[in-house]
């Protein structure tokens, strides 16, 4: 068996909101459109078909944005197919993390590709194009400028500010040198070095990320789009004006967020104005009601925040579904009424696959130690305690219970109210003594099982490095160095975004 599926409810991994979404709770039904089943896409296509998309502009922009990229024939074909009203997109997106950042960057893309393939199989008369949205206008540089690799941090330091996609890579060569030393030699290492050199020889981070993603997924027809584009933003001018001049979306999003907060945590903070103004080297929040002409003449200078970016995306793409993590799905649910106010179809929300990568030898160790994989979602100390208790029964619970019965019988024997405090005090003293004895016995038994407990700790660290989930900490490079293209191939074989289980993937 190459993968283990664990129901999310068994590991308490998701937020209450996402858990309720996956269980189709009625409390959440007013915060999204259709639930993410394969059959839901039939009505989603019908609804999206009624919404006007400027497909010619979209295709023109995609051709221009990708003209310097070595696209596969499939990707070129997918771009051309977007002119047809029978073609739809499945979209994900992410920040422009250097070298793709954490593992789940790839999981989002694979989830998107695989859902597109599943839809084509279900609805063969339609076309489904996987799309990656470059979050090039974000300004959180500290979130994207490093990766964790071989117990070290590879970091890009830069004094640049503003939209990260516009940042130049003039001082990036030293980062590549550090990375190349860590990767060492070998066929897979040389392949990655060539890909990274090709990508980060680009003029800016947006283009570098586009090249990198395309190199990894070019054979899958993935289309990469950058919203930082004047032609695309012209179609968003009316909404820009409504938000910047009239703050039209604030009451809608605030009200929806307040309702959501009655039972869940709202993910994104709601502001009166949801736009930033872009200049070279800066991205500043719009605080004043600007003149309409400034917006008309320079739409490229205005960047939607996390709450209006979804509207922008859904206006310019013939999109059916957005694939994201739990936090992303949460802020999308703050937007349902904003979508309705503009008559924009609300996309189907699909939770990306979550994965822990493991090996057959690690699974064998887990079984030998007497655990199931889901046990490793517990605290390390609890795993140690459980192992020791399974090996030698040092628990004195039955003795503590017997002690309680003894003192209850003493109370019954004398049946004098005035004696009870004295009897209770002695009971507590002896109970505490037994508890201390149990801890001492447990400590002695732990020392007898140091090798096994060390194995447990190593396994736990492998799955939860720095006490966070592997997919949020590790980069894909070590796995690619070991498995090459088969690593990504394995992800494509195993990940199904409509299967709402946590995936433990054996490599």
Cα–Cα dist 452/446, whole Å: 9
Quick one: three-class SS letters along 493-504? HHCCCCCCEEEE
Q: Could you identify the residue written with the tokens 């392949």?
A: 191
The per-residue pLDDT for range 449-505, each reduced to its tens digit, is 888 899 999 999 999 999 999 999 999 999 999 999 999 999 999 999 999 899 999
Output the DSSP codes for 84-98.
STTEEEEEEEE---G
Q: Could you identify the residue written with the tokens 């190593």?
A: 458
* Contact criterion met (CB below 8 Å) for 503 and 495: yes
For residue 273, give both structure tokens.
């104005």
The pLDDT of residue 282: 83
Element (H, E) at 130: strand 127-134
Q: Which residue has the higher pLDDT, 310 or 2?
A: 310
Cα–Cα dist 285/143, whole Å: 19
Output the DSSP codes for 459-480.
HHHHHSGGGS-HHHHB-SHHHH
For residue 125, give both structure tokens.
């008369």
When pLDDT is averaged across residues 103-123 and rounded to a whole number, the result is 98
pTM of structure: 0.88
Q: Could you identify the residue written with the tokens 């977007």?
A: 82
Measuring CA to CA, which residue among 21, 52, 1 is closest to residue 343? 52
For residue 446, give both structure tokens.
């732990």
Cα–Cα dist 86/272, whole Å: 38
Q: Where do the domains of the chain lie?
A: 17-236+305-354+482-506, 360-468
SS3 state at 269: coil
What values do phi and psi take at 150, rounded to 5? 50, 45
For residue 316, give both structure tokens.
């310019």
Q: Which residue has the higher pLDDT, 196 or 27?
A: 196
For residue 171, give both structure tokens.
């001082």
For residue 366, give both structure tokens.
């887990």
Q: Is the pLDDT of residue 446 over 70?
A: no
* Contact criterion met (CB below 8 Å) for 383 and 377: no
The per-residue pLDDT for range 302-349, each reduced to its tens digit, is 999 999 999 999 999 999 999 999 999 999 999 999 999 999 999 999
């Amino acid at each position: 068996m190459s993968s283990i599926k664990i129901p999310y409810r068994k590991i308490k991994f998701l937020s209450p909101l996402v858990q309720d979404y996956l269980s189709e709770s009625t409390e959440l039904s007013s915060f999204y459109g259709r639930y993410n089943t394969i059959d839901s896409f039939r009505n989603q296509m019908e609804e999206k078909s009624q919404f006007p998309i400027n497909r010619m502009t979209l295709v023109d922009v995609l051709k221009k944005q990708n003209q310097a990229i070595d696209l596969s024939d499939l990707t070129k074909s997918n771009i051309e197919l977007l002119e047809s009203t029978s073609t739809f997109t499945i979209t994900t997106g992410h920040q422009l993390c250097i070298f793709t950042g954490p593992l789940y960057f790839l999981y989002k893309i694979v989830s998107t590709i695989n859902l597109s393939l599943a839809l084509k199989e279900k609805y063969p008369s339609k076309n489904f194009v996987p799309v990656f949205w470059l979050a090039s206008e974000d300004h959180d540089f500290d979130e994207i400028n490093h990766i964790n690799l071989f117990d070290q941090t590879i970091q890009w330091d830069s004094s640049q500010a503003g939209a990260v996609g516009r940042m130049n890579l003039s001082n990036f060569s030293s980062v590549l040198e550090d990375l190349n030393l860590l990767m060492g030699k070998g066929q897979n290492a040389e392949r990655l070095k060539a890909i990274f050199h090709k990508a980060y020889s680009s003029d800016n981070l947006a283009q570098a990320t586009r090249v990198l993603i395309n190199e990894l997924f070019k054979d899958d027809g993935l289309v990469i789009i950058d919203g930082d584009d004047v032609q695309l933003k012209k179609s968003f001018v009316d909404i820009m004006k409504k938000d910047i001049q009239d703050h039209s979306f604030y009451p809608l999003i605030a009200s929806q967020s307040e309702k959501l907060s009655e039972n869940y945590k709202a993910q994104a903070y709601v502001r009166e104005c949801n736009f930033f103004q872009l200049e070279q080297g800066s991205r500043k929040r719009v605080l004043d009601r600007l003149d309409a002409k400034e917006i008309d003449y320079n739409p490229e200078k205005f960047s939607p925040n996390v709450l209006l970016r979804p509207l922008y995306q859904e206006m310019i793409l013939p999109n059916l579904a957005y694939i994201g993590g739990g936090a992303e799905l949460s802020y999308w649910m703050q937007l349902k009424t904003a979508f309705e106010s503009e008559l924009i179809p609300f996309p189907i929300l699909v939770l990306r696959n979550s994965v822990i990568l493991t090996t057959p030898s690690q699974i064998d160790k887990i079984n030998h130690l007497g655990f199931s994989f889901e046990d490793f979602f517990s605290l390390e100390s609890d795993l140690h305690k459980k192992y020791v208790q399974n090996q030698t029964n040092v628990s004195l619970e039955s003795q503590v219970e017997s002690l309680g019965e003894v003192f209850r019988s003493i109370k019954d024997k004398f049946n004098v109210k005035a004696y009870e405090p004295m009897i209770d005090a002695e009971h507590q003293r002896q109970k505490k003594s037994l508890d201390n004895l149990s801890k001492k016995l447990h400590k002695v038994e732990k020392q007898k099982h140091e090798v096994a407990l060390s194995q447990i700790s190593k396994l736990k660290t492998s799955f939860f490095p720095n006490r966070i989930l592997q997919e949020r900490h590790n980069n894909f490079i070590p796995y690619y160095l070991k498995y090459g293209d088969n690593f990504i191939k394995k992800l494509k074989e195993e990940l199904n975004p409509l299967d709402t289980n946590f995936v433990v993937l054996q490599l």
